[in-house]
Every structure is written in C-alpha cells, then in structure tokens.
Amino acid sequence: AHIAGLVAAGCHPSPVGHAHVVTSSTHKTLRGPRGGFVLCDAAFANKIDKAVFPGMQGGPLMHVIAAKAVAFQEALLPEFAYYQQAVVDNASTLAQELTSLGFRLVSGGTDNHLVLVDLRSINITGRDAELALERACISVNRNSIPFDPLPPNVTSGIRLGTPAVTTRGLGRSEMKEIARMISRVLSNLGNDEVLAEVCQQVEGITREFPVPKLVCRA
C-alpha cells in the first residue's frame, strides 16, 4: 500500500509476477482517492471477485471509481515518474541530514519514501516527539521500532514521509532545513520560544510552497 506509487513509477521493485495476489490502497504514494484494488493471477480472479462482491464490499461509489481511474491514468504519465523519483530523493536527503545531526535511523537510511527514526539515543519517546513537533507545526507519526521496549501508544521512534511535501514542490535544500528544524525541536522539548520560532519557519516554507491548485481536464 505505502509503496504502490513508487512501484508504478519504477522506483521500487514490483511484487507483481512474484506473488499470486497483490493488494494495495489507492491513496498514499499512488496519490489517488481513499480506496484499494486487488491484482491476481487469472486462476484466482473469479474466486476473489465473488468474495469481494457481493460478499464483503458495500455499494460502489461512482465518484471514487472515477477518481481511481484518474489516479491510474496520471500514474502512466512521465511526470508521475519524475515526481516519485523526487519523493525518493527527498527522503534520502532527509535521512542523510538527520544522520549527520546525530540521529539513528532504523536500517541505516531509506530507499523509499519513509524515514524511521530511533529516538532511544536521545532518550525521547515517540509520543513526546510527536507532540512537541506538532506544537512546532511539523506533523509526524510516533512509530514502533524493531524490538521496541515501549508500548505501541508510546513507541521509541517517529516516522517521517516525503510524498506530501514533494507534491508541494519542496526539494533537497528544504529537506535539510526540515531535518534541522526537527533536531532543534527535539533538543528543546518544553521550550515554548523555540517551538514558536520553528513554527514560524514552517509557515514561511508553506507560504513559499502552497498546495497546488487543482486543474480540471476536459
């Protein structure tokens, strides 16, 4: 589900041809509407169709089906491949900058759109980091790490992703700036003045890179 857009653009190995059945969401990196799809070998198609409808699926929503069609069509365009490569490049830059700032990353880095940060070396929980960064206008998810000693509602890590900021046009230099802002917040937990200053930095970036306007195509 998370890597579907990267797979479609050729930026990540595809499970198709190796697995008999492949499922995915249509949002996340594929950047379509909230929903999903199933790909399978022909031998399983009838059984899966009968299990999904009328067995499990409710009434289909026509606007969501249309939005999926648009997302699939966009995934065929050269621009989509450029976008996905930029997503991967941004994640790599973010990971490298966080590492240079002293953070430990699970797996040592990333080869997709996600960066998982192990916070144990700085003695901060994922929950505390998530809440502090939220106050500084930076959205992240607390996330468990392998063999995490803390419960899932606390965690020892945070998860960062680059698809949304890449859609807004942010690049490698902004990724480095974001890493430095994250480091500053996590080094100053409870310092309201620092959190407010970082929030102003974030607002400056979002003004420079606004959400793209939707363009209706005939």
Tell me what pLDDT residue 217 has: 56
Tokens coding 193: 């003045």
The mean predicted confidence, pLDDT, of the chain is 94
Report whether pLDDT(218) > 50. no
pLDDT, tens digit, 9 for 90 and up, residues 168-182: 999 999 999 999 999
Tell me what pLDDT residue 54 has: 77
Indicate the Cα dihedral angle 90, 92, 93, 99, nearest 10°.
140
**Reported confidence tier of residue 110, pLDDT bands at 50, 70, 90:** very high
pLDDT, tens digit, 9 for 90 and up, residues 116-156: 999 998 999 999 999 999 999 999 999 999 999 999 999 99
Work out the average pLDDT over 59-86: 94
Tell me what pLDDT residue 55 has: 73
Tell me what pLDDT residue 58 has: 75
Sign of torsion, CA 28 30 35 41?
negative
Report whether pLDDT(214) > 70. no
Report whether pLDDT(6) > 90. yes
pLDDT, tens digit, 9 for 90 and up, residues 18-49: 999 999 999 999 999 999 999 999 999 999 99
CA 70 to chain centre: 21
Query: What is the value of pTM for the model shown?
Result: 0.91
Tell me what pLDDT residue 60 has: 79
Nearest-10 crossing angle of helices 126-135, 172-186? 110
Tell me what pLDDT residue 212 has: 80
Indicate the Cα dihedral angle 23, 166, 201, 214, nearest 10°.
-90
